[in-house]
Amino acid sequence: MTKTALITGVTGQDGSYLSELLLSKGYTVHGLVRRSSSFNTERIDHIYQGPQETGRSFVLHHADLSDGVALVNLLREIRPDEVYNLGAQSHVRVSFDAPLYTGDVTGLGALRLLEAVRASGIDTRVYQASSSEMFGATPPPQNEKTPFHPRSPYGVAKVYGYWATVNYREAYGMYAVNGILFNHESPRRGETFVTRKITRAVARIKAGLQSELYLGNLDAVRDWGYAPEYVDAMWRMLQQDEPTDYVVATGVPATVRQFLETAFAHAGLDWQEHVRHDAKYERPSEVDALIGDASKAAELLDWKPEVMVEDLARIMVDADVKQVEDQLAGATVRVDR
């Protein structure tokens, strides 16, 4: 039987890869798109099916995680077998500038969706996009038993969403799980996250379009994986007999400086000739080191990452170099298709 899924955050990095994965498995995929004054569907334009098409397997709906009634109505209409809550104000630095908005959408938004599932009376499985940012100041390695100590309004909001998910599982017997995902990147990564900011700058410097790149803290350690592999872990979490929470990570640490070195070197450039410091990109409280232990996901989900940080940097540089070349040639096609 064809399964139906609802994805919030369908226009984001993970939403686009998860849509492709579920469509390839024969799902009918519904995506929640928030209203924007200009197009915000670039990552899913290649799988878009217009309202005039018959028998659509990919359907978009306007709604917002701040609007609980719209969520109930949408769930009643779609009656999905699986719900993936990927929608969020997901930028850590921005969350210090917009803490209440971040709390509302990223934290309370998760609760609104869970309550909407309950209120609509449907039988569905729920995935909550939890984050390694919840571990914050707690030293690595981090796994499912590691205590949380969030260091940003975003991290605090994600802790709220995490416990709301656990609570709905315990209180109402709902199949609701947290995927505690460590940083994952791709050519579709938002342009202001550090990896994409670096690989995009590499491509533009190589093409002579810019000469300097301003960054904040280069000493932070992250565990960077490849987004298409991480959405597969999300799907696996909803196919188990029992709901439980999982860490998803590579276990391989790298500093921002090491990512810089790899990315610039791949394009034949010396990062030290181009990178400048700007305190504007530092956070009032930083997360120094995130390194995940994903042995539970390996054992129970049979999930293992293949692309590690150095290959990831090269994949992203190649994609951005190609994108700049295409732009200079006057084309507008995406680079990662």
Report, as residue numbers or ranges, the catalytic residues. 131, 133, 154
* 73 near ligand NAP (CB under 6 A): no
Cβ at position 222, least distance to ligand NAP in Å: 9
Q: Which of ligand NAP, ligand GDD, none does residue 192 bind to, with CB < 5 to 8 Å depending on kind? A: ligand GDD
Alpha carbon distance 189, 320 (integer Å): 11
Contacts to ligand GDD from residues 258-287, by CB under 6 A: 281, 283, 286
Q: Using the rule CB under 6 A, is 34 a contact of ligand NAP?
A: yes
Task: Pick between residue 181 and residue 213 the one whose CB is nearest to ligand NAP.
Answer: 181
Residue 72, CA distances (Å) to 77, 92, 100, 181, 327 in order: 9, 29, 23, 27, 42
Phi-psi group of 55: left, alpha or beta (phi > 0 → left; psi -120 to 50 → alpha; rest → beta): left
Asked if residue 90 binds ligand GDD (CB under 6 A), the reply is yes
Give the binding range for ligand NAP (CB under 6 A) out of 6-14, 207-215, 266-274, 310-318: 6-14
Which H or E run contains 247? Answer: strand 246-248
217 binds, among ligand GDD, ligand NAP, none (CB under 5 to 8 A by kind): ligand GDD
Under the binding rule (CB under 6 A), the answer on residue 211 touching ligand GDD is no
CB 65 within 8 A of CB 8: yes
In the structure encoding, which two tokens stand for residue 16, read together?
Answer: 């686009």
Q: Does 11 bind ligand NAP (CB under 6 A)?
A: yes
Residue 101 interacts with, from ligand GDD, ligand NAP, none (CB under 5-8 Å by kind): none
Q: Is 222 in the site for ligand GDD (CB under 6 A)?
A: yes
Verify binding: residue 188, ligand GDD, rule CB under 6 A. no
Q: At residue 278, what are phi and psi to the nearest 5 degrees?
A: -140, 120
Question: Cα torsion for 21, 231, 120, 114, to the nearest 10°?
Answer: 180
256 binds, among ligand GDD, ligand NAP, none (CB under 5 to 8 A by kind): ligand GDD
Which pairs with CB-CB distance under 8 Å and at least 24 residues apart come from 88-92? 88/9, 88/129, 88/157, 88/158, 89/154, 90/12, 90/154, 90/190, 91/154, 91/190, 91/192, 91/193, 92/133, 92/152, 92/154, 92/155, 92/283, 92/287
Q: Which two tokens stand for residue 120?
A: 């609509």
Residue 181 Cβ, how far from ligand GDD at the closest point, in Å?
7
Nearest to 211 by CA among 220, 221, 201: 201
Q: Choose between 109 and 243: whose C-beta lies nearer to ligand NAP.
A: 109
| Residue 61 binding: pick among ligand NAP, ligand GDD, none (C-beta 5-8 Å cut-off by kind) | none
Half-sphere exposure of 281 (CA within 13 A, CB side): 16
Helix (H, G, I), strand (E, B) or coil at 47: helix
Q: Which residues, including other chains, have CB under 8 Å from residue 282's CB and lie 6 or more apart?
A: 216, 217
- N residues, the chain: 337
Q: How far apart are CA 286 and CA 143, in angstroms?
A: 20
Binding mask 83-122 for ligand NAP (x = CB under 6 A): ---xxxxx--------------x-----------------
Residue 116, judged by CB atoms within 10 A of its CB (0-12, 13-18, 19+), counts as: buried
Q: Is residue 215 a contact residue for ligand GDD (CB under 6 A)?
A: yes
Selection from ligand GDD, ligand NAP, none that 313 binds (CB < 5 to 8 A by kind) is none
Contact call for residue 183 and ligand GDD (CB under 6 A): yes
Q: Specify the residue, 174 or 233, whose C-beta has the smaller distance to ligand GDD.
A: 233
Chain residues binding ligand NAP by CB under 6 A are 8-9, 11-15, 32, 34, 36, 40, 64-66, 86-90, 105, 129, 131, 181, 183-184, 190
Chain residues binding ligand GDD by CB under 6 A are 90, 92-93, 131-133, 182-183, 192-194, 197, 215-217, 220, 222, 256, 281, 283, 286, 290
